[in-house]
Amino acid sequence: MAELDQQALHREMTAWRHDLHAHPEFGFEEKRTAAFVAQKLRDFGLEVAEGIGGTGVVGTLTRGSGNRAIALRADMDALRIAEQGTQAWRSQAPGTMHACGHDGHTSMLLGAAKLLAGEGGFDGTVRFIFQPAEEWGKGALAMLDDGLLERFPFEEIFGLHNMPGLAVGHFETRSGPVMSAEDNFEIVLKGLGGHAARPHAAQETLVAACALVVNLQTIVSRRLSPADIGVVSVTELITDGTRNALPGMARILGDCRSFRPEVSAAIENEMRRIAEGTAQAYNVGAQVTYTREFVPLINDAALVDEALAAARTVLADDAVRVAAEPMTASEDFARFLDHVPGCFIFMGNGDTAPLHNPAYDFNDEGLLHGARFHAAVVRRRLAVG
């Protein structure tokens, strides 16, 4: 098959990315995005299935007679953030923007599909998975619950994410733990509100809540082994009081990060114990709700080696490296790794605003690198002959 003009492909991916950025959609609302993706895949000659797990799309491309299948995954959803960018392709949806680069991830996987459909160079089947609702950890489970593995079987899966601060054209990952689990919690303290001038006549909850916020900080520092990574962050404190009225209710919300189920369980147990003890000390009641939203992302060691080797075929050796340590952000890709081995890798986005920042924008200089990486993984894992 003829080799595609990669510079022309880069210009095309840039146009796709700008269109997707201008029309962001929140999780499970990605109808326009999904239709855009499905039409492009059909234009490239792929078999396409829509509506997987709600708004997910799966494209299938087979070449040769090989009976192995691998998957490549991109996320499609945007965030509830009001964009501050001034670029021509800025968000046209008030209060919603692609602040995490999923527009770039989708465009790179579309580029890889066009590249592989046009050039071939592999023997087997590739599943191109475009996932909804990554940001709130529901999209992968929705696709799996909708029979993804049974309807579109594959033996291993690869994904990537852009990383501000890492130079464009650089890739890195590591074997084992890469990204943490995320647990959410809500602690509701209930007492008796009253007049601000008569605290002795009430069972107000604000002082108890302030004490509890401080006490929760001892979970990581005094209850977990120093060898374990754990984070407990209080992010909201809400009461029903007003300036001259003591609150009778206080809500404390936040999230926790860890890499092992045992650590997650220990954090929950300590949180419940501390909440109950603090509430008793202040003569109020406590109710703890603790949920597990994301599981840890654990890369397969052998497939990490394969992904890094594939990256080195399209980039300089010194632009591909093993990451020194895991990060405590979370990623819905981890749900797929509960079922098949895989590798998640990071690619440089250059000196841009951070992820989830209203001034963030995906760096178009990286688009071709991502598409070529995807294609290199396929050609390595589904090698001809």
Average pLDDT over residues 155-160: 98
Q: Please give the structure tokens belonging to residue 239.
A: 């009461």
Give residue 3's pLDDT: 80
Summarize pLDDT for 33-86 with one digit per residue, the tens. 999 999 999 999 999 999 999 999 999 999 999 999 999 999 999 999 999 989
Q: What is the rounded CA–CA span in Å between residue 154 and residue 191?
A: 54
Q: Report CA 197 to chain centroid distance, whole Å.
A: 48
Q: Is 367 helix (H, G, I), strand (E, B) or coil?
A: helix
Summarize pLDDT for 266-287 with one digit per residue, the tens. 999 999 999 999 999 999 999 9
Any idea where the domains of the chain sit in the sequence?
6-179+296-381, 184-294
| Residue listed under structure tokens 């799309």 | 57
Residue 148 has pLDDT above 80, yes or no: yes
* Bridge partner residues of 187 (DSSP): 252, 288
Give residue 13's pLDDT: 98
The reply to whether 184-294 shares the fold of 6-179+296-381 is no
Structure confidence at residue 1 as a pLDDT band (50, 70, 90): low
Alpha-helical runs (H) found in the chain: 6-22, 31-43, 102-119, 139-145, 148-151, 206-216, 218, 261-281, 301-314, 367-381
* Bridge partner residues of 299 (DSSP): 176
* Model confidence, pTM: 0.94
Give residue 17's pLDDT: 98
First to last CA, the chain: 17
CATH 1.10.287.130 fits 184-294, yes or no: no
Residue 353 has pLDDT above 90, yes or no: yes
Summarize pLDDT for 295-330 with one digit per residue, the tens. 999 999 999 999 999 999 999 999 999 998 999 999
Return the DSSP state at 243: T
Average pLDDT over residues 119-133: 98
Q: Please give the structure tokens belonging to residue 12.
A: 């095309």
Summarize pLDDT for 182-218 with one digit per residue, the tens. 999 999 999 999 999 999 999 999 999 999 999 999 9
Residue 219 has pLDDT above 80, yes or no: yes
Structural domain 6-179+296-381, CATH architecture: 3-Layer(aba) Sandwich (3.40)
Q: Report CA 87 to chain centroid distance, whole Å.
A: 25
Considering the chain, what is the average pLDDT of its residues?
A: 97
Residue pair 283/205 in contact by the 8 Å Cβ criterion: no
Return the DSSP state at 237: E
Percent of the chain with pLDDT over 70: 99
Residue pair 343/194 in contact by the 8 Å Cβ criterion: no
